[in-house]
Amino acid sequence: MEKIATICVYCGCGCGLFLHVEDGRIVGASPSPAHPVSRGRLCVKGWLAADFVHHPDRLKTPLVRKGGRMVRGSWDEALSLTARRLKEIMEESGPDALAVLTSAKGTNEENYLLAKLARVALKTNNVDHVARLCHAPSVAGLGFALGSGAMTNPIRSLLSADAILVTGSNTTEQHPLIAAHILEAQSRGATLIVADPRRTQMAQLADIHLAPRLGTDVAWTNGILNLIIDMGLVDEDFIIERTEGFTALKDLVVQYTPAAVERITGIPPGDLKKAAVAFGEADRAAVVYAMGTTQHSCGTDNVLALANLVLATGNVGRDGTGIYPLRGHQNVQGACDMGALPSVYPGYQKVEDPAARERMEAAWGTDLPADPGLTAVEMMEAAEEGRLKGIYISGENPMISYPDRDQVMRALSSLEFLTVADIFPTETTALADVVLPVASFAEKDGTFTSTERRVQRVRRAVSPPGEARPEVEVAADLLRRLGVEADYASPEEVMAEISSVTPSYGGISYQRLGISGLSWPCPSRDHPGTEILHQGSFPIGRARFSAVEQQELAEDLDYPLLLTTGRSLFHFHTGTMTRRTHLLDRERPKAAVDINPADAAALGVRSGTMVVVESVRGGIEIEARLTEEVPMGTVYIPFHFAEAPANQLTARTLDPTSKIPCLKRTPVRIRRADS
């Protein structure tokens, strides 16, 4: 038996684990005791991280659509067809009729090559990935406020915080190892404040639980800031020396009195005051947030409001402080870093910036398109309208994970050509013209970058099944077929190229990535990496306050309940892996809608009753589960389940700045299925 050290494939914590390998098969997994995040522990998904790897459903041969049926094809056939069709579409309709969706489940090397495929081979900036649906508002909001959209501090830093505000994050279920750090800090004396409409485990363990109405985050955040200013708890030196725009903000937040905040959010003034005192008086305070903050049509405003809070209290640049956008996939940070976004090259160099474009043109030896491309959700609209004709999708399953499933279906079906690379058949591969079988995390070498900017080595433990290949090879092969030089002998050579074009990865090489990896920015070979950002200065000079206001929230009397969506501890995203992991699927075998018992009584519904949940976009039939975890008027559905897809109901309403769809607040109505 060998024990191969690698990184977990699920959430952004980036836990180190060992895969136990015997006779070419993975027979178990265990936590790496010396790893800085896992510290000898894992969550239930981590313990079972490799359980799906040898599942018989794995895609093992390329599939090509012939006469409406998918038939086995060779790699050569599948890739030459992909290259030929993409080229034909490019010649007929121009490069912007093509797009690439990369995968946050892929390695940095894979994301880099796929983004390069879009820009260099297909000559389009239409490249995006799932970050659009999670932390685009952080990239936009924190990028504006602080100059960087990433987590400011390492996870470990939370251990030395005196107060931690967790909002829009079901941390014990979605980032269990970060929750463990937060709870450890709490048991050492830190005050834990949780703002979440649902009574999650985190909320139940909190010292102060604020339960705002859905979509009212700006109001309560401004309300806390107003009280902090009122009590004289702002860090004036920090504001004067390192920020700008405070006066305008101060003038705005005076409107957010506790009484006004209560009217908007439903939070009792006493609780708001307690939270403001705990956060304001703390020597070191931290803000942790996730999808509950970002997945709103005002997602960027929500992030800016939180940034105001940490800046006004001077909680940036020191151990125990900071703002922590928790990233949901193990490499969504890396996919963003690699420039798998329509507006930036690797290292967030803007495509609109002529100097950056010139640098990349020189490095890649070709002309590059100047205009930012389409974002993920915009791609679906463009496809539906016929402007987008060909897409290469790597390991994404938009049919389940994107909002408004019917529209995604129409969009993908109307494409002239679709290639999907994945490890399992999905609702999206079912629509493809070519399906490419690729290696899972346990079958390839590369790097992942965790939520704390930690670049870590992923190691091949076993061979891919059948003819499946690591996607880094597939992407290089496609690049060559499209006439771009791409002779990489190994992922390590791809990383060498990445570090040569990505300033923040300049010092990163496989030899330097030990147990703890390296945190970017790491600009040179002798640089130790940067765990805490913004210590002396911000990349933009002074940090910026933004006077953000609470948006008016539309109400719809026909749809009196508010639906919010999320993930369960036991499943991940569209369930392609976890629903094939026996113990996880057994734990949560089917979808259910969480309803408050008072709402349920009014509807005549009990636990186990089949109900129909409807929004203006459609309806799904689903089992009801009565729980006090959701407040009256709010219902909750995890979106993992294809048989009751929550995203059938959600809207494409986009945040104007970051183009994230509003997945967290959808007006719905519920009736018994038999009525």
Partner 1 sequence: MTCASAFILRREDLVPLLEELAETLEVVAPVQVEGEAAFATWRGEALALDDKNPLTSPMEFFLPQKEVLFRYVQYSGRYTFSEDPPRARLIFGMRPCDLRALKVIDGIFGADLPDIPYAGRRRSTIIVALNCTTPGEGCFCRSMGSGPGAEGGYDILLTDLGRGYLVEPGSSAGVYILRAHHRHFEEADPGDIKEKERLLALAGDEIVTRGPSLNPEKIREAIDGVDWEEAGRRCLACGGCSLVCPVCHCFSVLDQGVPDGERLRCRDTCILSGFSRMTGGANPRAALGERLRHWYLDKFVYIPEKTGLFGCVGCGRCTRVCLGEVDRWSLFKEAAE
Binding site for partner 1 (CB under 8 A): 1-3, 5, 16, 18, 20, 22, 26-35, 40-44, 46-47, 51, 55-56, 172, 176-177, 179-180, 183-184, 187, 201, 204-205, 515, 569, 582-583, 586-587, 589, 608
User: What is the token pair recorded at 601?
Assistant: 């009584």
User: What is the token pair recorded at 229?
Assistant: 């200013």
Percent of the chain as helix, strand, coil, to the nearest 5: 35, 20, 45
- Name which of 172 and 297 has its Cβ closer to partner 1: 172
- Name which of 39 and 318 has its Cβ closer to partner 1: 39
Please report how close the Cβ of residue 30 comes to partner 1 at its closest, in angstroms.
5
- Name which of 27 and 602 has its Cβ closer to partner 1: 27
Please report how close the Cβ of residue 59 comes to partner 1 at its closest, in angstroms.
15
Please report how close the Cβ of residue 641 comes to partner 1 at its closest, in angstroms.
16
Q: In the 3-class helix/strand/coil scheme, how is 470-493 assigned residue by residue?
A: CHHHHHHHHHHHCCCCCCCCCHHH
- Name which of 56 and 232 has its Cβ closer to partner 1: 56
Strands (E), 308-445: 322-325, 344-345, 349-350, 390-394, 417-422, 434-437
The span from the CA of 11 to the CA of 176, in Å, is 9
What φ, ψ does residue 647 adopt, rounded to 5°?
-80, 5
Please report how close the Cβ of residue 515 comes to partner 1 at its closest, in angstroms.
5
- Name which of 431 and 569 has its Cβ closer to partner 1: 569
Please report how close the Cβ of residue 467 comes to partner 1 at its closest, in angstroms.
18
Please report how close the Cβ of residue 158 comes to partner 1 at its closest, in angstroms.
13
Please report how close the Cβ of residue 611 comes to partner 1 at its closest, in angstroms.
16
- Name which of 3 and 156 has its Cβ closer to partner 1: 3
Q: For 588, which DSSP code?
A: S
E strand or H helix at 6: strand 2-7
- Name which of 173 and 404 has its Cβ closer to partner 1: 173
Q: Which amino acid is at 499?
A: S
Which residue in 294, 175, 113 sits closest to 662, CA to CA?
A: 294
Please report how close the Cβ of residue 172 comes to partner 1 at its closest, in angstroms.
5
- Name which of 125 and 191 has its Cβ closer to partner 1: 191
Read out DSSP for 435-464? EEEB--GGG--EEEE-TTSEEEEE---SPP
Please report how close the Cβ of residue 191 comes to partner 1 at its closest, in angstroms.
16
Please report how close the Cβ of residue 288 comes to partner 1 at its closest, in angstroms.
16
- Name which of 17 and 522 has its Cβ closer to partner 1: 17
- Name which of 84 and 582 has its Cβ closer to partner 1: 582
Asked if residue 136 lies in contact with residue 658, where contact means CB atoms within 8 angstroms, the answer is: yes
Please report how close the Cβ of residue 73 comes to partner 1 at its closest, in angstroms.
23
Between the CA of residue 102 and those of 31, 68, 131, 431, 577, what are the distances in Å? 28, 26, 10, 17, 18
User: What is the token pair recorded at 417?
Assistant: 């050509």
What φ, ψ does residue 450 adopt, rounded to 5°?
-80, 180
Between the CA of residue 16 and those of 5, 335, 458, what are the distances in Å? 7, 19, 9
Asked if residue 553 lies in contact with residue 301, where contact means CB atoms within 8 angstroms, the answer is: no
Which residue in 664, 670, 669 sits closest to 564, CA to CA?
A: 664
Which residue in 334, 320, 288, 355 sits closest to 520, CA to CA?
A: 334
The span from the CA of 528 to the CA of 385, in Å, is 49
Query: What is the chain's Cα-based Rg?
Result: 24
Asked if residue 157 lies in contact with residue 532, where contact means CB atoms within 8 angstroms, the answer is: yes
Please report how close the Cβ of residue 37 comes to partner 1 at its closest, in angstroms.
12
Please report how close the Cβ of residue 1 comes to partner 1 at its closest, in angstroms.
5
**Residue 659 burial by Cβ neighbours in a 10 Å radius (0-12, 13-18, 19+):** buried
Asked if residue 419 lies in contact with residue 433, where contact means CB atoms within 8 angstroms, the answer is: yes
Q: Would you tell me the crossing angle of helices 491-501 and 108-116 to the nearest 10 degrees?
A: 70
User: What is the token pair recorded at 528?
Assistant: 């130790």
Please report how close the Cβ of residue 609 comes to partner 1 at its closest, in angstroms.
13
- Name which of 251 and 628 has its Cβ closer to partner 1: 628
Please report how close the Cβ of residue 277 comes to partner 1 at its closest, in angstroms.
25
Q: Indicate the Cα dihedral angle 627, 628, 634, 636, nearest 10°.
A: -40
- Name which of 46 and 575 has its Cβ closer to partner 1: 46
The span from the CA of 151 to the CA of 161, in Å, is 15
Name residues whose C-beta falls within 8 Å of residue 485's C-beta, 6 or more positions apart in sequence: 365, 479
Which residue in 120, 522, 154, 173 sits closest to 339, CA to CA?
A: 120
Please report how close the Cβ of residue 520 comes to partner 1 at its closest, in angstroms.
21
Strand partners, 394: 421
- Name which of 47 and 75 has its Cβ closer to partner 1: 47
Asked if residue 31 lies in contact with residue 3, where contact means CB atoms within 8 angstroms, the answer is: no
- Name which of 451 and 666 has its Cβ closer to partner 1: 451
- Name which of 49 and 64 has its Cβ closer to partner 1: 49
Please report how close the Cβ of residue 510 comes to partner 1 at its closest, in angstroms.
15
- Name which of 56 and 365 has its Cβ closer to partner 1: 56
User: What is the token pair recorded at 12?
Assistant: 């952004």
Name residues whose C-beta falls within 8 Å of residue 52's C-beta, 6 or more positions apart in sequence: 424, 440, 577, 578, 580, 581
The span from the CA of 148 to the CA of 422, in Å, is 31
- Name which of 40 and 94 has its Cβ closer to partner 1: 40
